């Protein structure tokens, strides 16, 4: 069984990019295609999301300026990995429960 890594990025107002990822356990061997099919319809225009809504880290490396910056991050891809999970829940839980339930605050 391979775990799944979700890759995403943030592009600030000056078009500087910050990249990040999170590794999910994958106990039911979800395929990349299945993960994509479940995630994309939940995103804004099948690409964007606000990481706070999903329990993911923001990728703002520069001081955040709400006058010109935004909260939206871009989903890039899923890939299989042998790395240890970095997220406290499995990919299935992440994809199946509602976004508001993913907040850890």
Percent with pLDDT over 90 in the chain: 69
- 53 near 102, Cβ under 8 Å? yes
Query: What secondary structure letter does DSSP report for 3?
Result: E
C-alpha 70/C-alpha 24 separation (Å) is 26
Mean pLDDT of 6-32: 93
Number of residues in the chain = 105
**pTM of the predicted structure, to 2 decimals:** 0.86
C-alpha 85/C-alpha 62 separation (Å) is 27
pLDDT at position 87, please?
95
């Amino acid at each position: 069984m391979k775990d799944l890594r979700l890759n995403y990025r943030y592009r600030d107002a000056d078009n500087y990019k910050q990249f990040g990822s999170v590794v999910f356990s994958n106990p039911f061997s979800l395929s990349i295609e299945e993960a994509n099919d479940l995630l994309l319809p939940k995103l804004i225009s099948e690409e964007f999301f606000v990481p706070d809504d999903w329990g993911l880290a923001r990728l703002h490396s520069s001081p955040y300026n709400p006058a010109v910056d935004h909260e939206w991050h871009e989903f890039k891809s899923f890939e299989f990995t042998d790395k240890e999970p970095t997220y406290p829940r499995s990919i299935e839980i992440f994809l199946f429960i509602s976004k508001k339930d993913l907040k850890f605050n």
